[in-house]
């Protein structure tokens, strides 16, 4: 009687099993750290306040180049007038909106608590903005 021995066994050895288990444990240990860091990035990615302020500064700088400025402190309004058009920035319902020639309604900044424009000198104006961001407030001063 002859005995046959199979040499081509396709199974896991104990060392292979320990290696795969250790890799799995390392990956599982890193997942909570990954979730925590992604959660922090999500808060920053969903917050557009700094981008809105940057665009508001750009709009102000574009309008100031060829315009004369008129202030309306009673309504917290700043108006830029040039030969072809009149552009107005106003606080309305917690938003700073831009209107051109009295038409349109372009929202530039949201969640605004205070929008105040003061004349410092004949050619210098200060725009003071307070923006609500959750339980914090962002203070912004822009000199034009």
At 82-96, the pLDDT tens digits run 888 888 988 888 888
Question: Strand 103-109 vs strand 77-81: parallel, antiparallel, or unpaired?
Answer: unpaired
Q: What percent of the chain has pLDDT over 90?
A: 10
Q: Are 116 and 74 in contact (CB under 8 A)?
A: no
Domain ranges for the chain:
11-46, 49-143
The predicted model scores a pTM of 0.65
pLDDT in tens, 29-78: 999 998 888 887 776 666 778 888 888 888 888 888 877 888 877 667 88
Q: What is the DSSP string of the chain?
A: ----------S--HHHHHHHHHHHHHHHHHHHHHHHHHHHHHHHHH--HHHHHHHHHHHHHHHHTT-EEEEETTTTEEEEE-SS-EEEEEEETTEEEEEETTEEEEEEE-SEEEEEEEE-SSS-EEEEEEEEETTEEEEEEEE-
């Amino acid at each position: 009687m002859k005995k046959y021995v199979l040499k081509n066994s396709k199974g896991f050895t104990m060392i292979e099993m320990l290696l795969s288990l250790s890799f799995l444990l390392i990956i599982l240990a890193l997942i909570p750290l990954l979730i925590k860091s992604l959660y922090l990035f999500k808060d920053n990615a969903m917050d557009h306040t700094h981008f809105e302020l940057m665009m508001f500064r750009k709009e102000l700088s574009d309008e100031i180049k060829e315009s004369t400025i008129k202030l309306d402190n009673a309504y917290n309004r700043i108006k830029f007038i040039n030969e072809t058009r009149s552009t107005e920035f106003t606080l309305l319902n917690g938003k700073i909106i831009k209107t051109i020639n009295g038409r349109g309604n372009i929202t530039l900044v949201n969640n605004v608590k205070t929008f105040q424009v003061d004349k410092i000198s004949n050619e210098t104006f200060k725009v003071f903005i307070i923006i609500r961001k959750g339980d914090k407030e962002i203070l912004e001063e822009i000199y034009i």
